[in-house]
Amino acid sequence: MPPNPFALDAASIAALLDPRAPAIPELEAARASPAALRDAPQTRAALADLEALIPPSGQIPITPYSAYRRFRADGDRKEYEAPYFLKRRSLAAAALRLFLGDTSLRDTVHNYLWAICEESNWVLPAHERNRIDLFAAETGFVLADTLELLGDAIDAFLRADGTLGRDVCARDDQVDSLHESVFRILLTHMMADPRTINPSLEYLLVSRNLERVADLATNIGEDAVFLAEGKNIKHGGGEAARAGTFTS
């Protein structure tokens, strides 16, 4: 007779799980053939219903403090709950479309994830006294579901992916080497022909700006490692394993 799942503690549940098994087997099947899922009649019908939930770029519903406090003042729930739930439904709709191939919604998904994580709390005003608010827990589930669904389509920083963060750091060294190579080549041309000085300086400025972009990306990669692993790898961070797995 199988054990009563409601009587198990966390350690007992972990012992019953197969670490090699996918978290959601149906999702792995969908990943193998996203086109088949996208073209299925029921999927087309669902996407049509969700079309209205995809907002114009940048128009993310806001959940202000004044709306949150209205429940305490006069019992009104709608002013806060309407944008609260719309934000989550819109994230789910955009994430599904991104999973099915609409890459134009990638930044929209990023922005919704960011906006929800920036909320002061996920508790509904009417549920403040609850030990665990149902919709705070549901928000955590929606975020986890989105990250599991989209995987590498989500930036490393938002996913707190330490491995991807390390890969970004490793690529910075390659960009630095390229910048130094460009500088040496341009210097050779400028010394050989003074007429090339002005255009060479412009090319050098472009190369320097690209090198600066790589530096900023490295900062984000280092923050992603810290979020995922609790390790500070900035400026070496006392850790030799700063380099990632990226190879050219």
Each residue of 109-133: pLDDT tens digit? 989 998 998 898 899 999 988 777 8
Residue type, 181: S
Predicted confidence at residue 178, as pLDDT, reads 86
Q: Which is nearest to 233 in space by CA: 216, 219, 213?
A: 219
Predicted confidence at residue 228, as pLDDT, reads 67
Residue type, 228: A
Predicted confidence at residue 236, as pLDDT, reads 60
List the alpha helices (DSSP H) in the chain.
10-16, 25-32, 34-39, 41-50, 65-68, 70-74, 78-99, 106-118, 134-150, 156-159, 162-192, 197-229
At 23, which helix (H) or strand (E)?
A: none
Separation of alpha carbons 180 and 128, rounded Å? 57
Predicted confidence at residue 214, as pLDDT, reads 76
pLDDT tens profile 84-117 = 999 999 999 999 988 888 888 888 998 999 899 8
Structure tokens at 25: 């087997």
Residues 163-174: what's their mean pLDDT? Answer: 77
Predicted confidence at residue 85, as pLDDT, reads 95
Predicted confidence at residue 81, as pLDDT, reads 96
Predicted confidence at residue 50, as pLDDT, reads 84
Separation of alpha carbons 84 and 90, rounded Å? 10
Predicted confidence at residue 86, as pLDDT, reads 94
Q: Which of 76-90, 95-109, 162-176 has the lowest mean pLDDT?
A: 162-176
CATH number listed for the domain at residues 162-236: 1.20.58.220
pLDDT tens profile 29-72 = 787 777 888 888 998 998 888 888 887 666 899 999 999 999 99
Predicted confidence at residue 248, as pLDDT, reads 37
Predicted confidence at residue 156, as pLDDT, reads 61
pLDDT tens profile 123-159 = 999 998 877 788 888 998 888 888 888 876 676 666 6
Cβ neighbours for 131, distance < 8 A, ≥ 6 positions apart: none
Cβ neighbours for 175, distance < 8 A, ≥ 6 positions apart: 210, 211, 214
- Surface-to-core class of residue 72, CB atoms within 10 Å of its CB (0-12 exposed, 13-18 middle, 19+ buried): exposed
Percent of the chain with pLDDT over 90: 22
Contact 61/87 with Cβ under 8 angstroms? Answer: yes
Cut 0.85: pTM above it: no
Under the banding of pLDDT at 50, 70 and 90, the label for residue 243 is: very low
Contact 139/122 with Cβ under 8 angstroms? Answer: yes
CATH 1.20.58.220 residue ranges in the chain? 162-236
Contact 70/125 with Cβ under 8 angstroms? Answer: yes
